[in-house]
Structure 1
């Protein structure tokens, strides 16, 4: 499998402030990469570049084999770059299946434009089951689901609609240990299906369990890029807290 993303000499300036400098790394298809660093390290800026919110001041971004110059998040999504933020963008008073197909509803042909409800309910359940997610009913309101269930649904939805690179921003924040383990299982299942994943997490102990590669930023500079067999949790922790 080849690389889904290549970043070369990525730099970002906001006026006189240099937010990112010389960021270089690749992500292989199906690889889980942890993007780590303390607050102010540049993680959010880099993610906004990858997801189309910001253009880099300098550098080159190659996605799925061709150089891209993203002008918006919609353009990034059209290529298969999907970001799942902490708020998940789920509507609590809508059912699971309505959330799953929100903005992508299937309707009947003709001027009536009737929702093909049963078809969407069945497709939703099949898509979740394919990820190993077993829920009570697709008609349950999202507001009644646990945090782990919601996170799993958001990840599965992104994969179902063709994400090639999935960016997860603190996906286990406020989750129990059991729910965190379940979300990590979903992340691993997504990667096994060939979807690449970028994880942004502050809990290094948790992210070390699941990531294949670790990219470390400090004050906008990339100070580390290691595969799991090239480093240890202690070594990464020392880099993040400034002991290197």
Structure 2
């Protein structure tokens, strides 16, 4: 962990957030492959740092929290609820990080798919942009709390997740993981999701397609003819450890009688 921290010493939080986005893609292979380890600092170090994996919010933002805390920042974990296409997801299944800076509350994010601002978002302050888009942190009362992370989409601000400022206990991360693994409404149990940020835009890989997006709103979708195409793109964008876990998932799918996508 100490060698991992050295790369961030002397840098501001924006550098750390950008570096996290480069190092750790958003991916749900542990869910699909049935890994059930508790969320501990040792687990995060082994999975994300030593094995160069990605993860979901309760892993990526947990590691971000530990990193910032060890670097001397005043941070806390918080739990929120995601909103997709106007519909709220399972309650309290998004872990995020709040930062107190110069007497002000900020949101820092490393575990929200590829929708990642590269700067702390000041509560009710200016928006911030990255290759993923433009984001802001607002006092907004929703069914899920009094705070919200919003994204500018087609000239309209939409809520991406809502939450309250109360600190979340570390033990809730493992409970959140269990919910994602077993809840009947979990969106992460059916198929692989791998997403990240490139130098010029974002990528997301599903089993049937690759989607590339750029800040100007343009995008490119490449449809896969079979799982070899899928695996080739995972290999192109991800670490060998993620490729290995993808192969394990595909082998299990074949054993279960699933057909390759045509």
Q: Which has the higher contact order (CA 8 A, sep 6+)?
A: 1
Please, what TM-score do these two structures have when normalized by structure 1? 0.30
Please identify the structure whose Cα radius of gyration is greater.
1
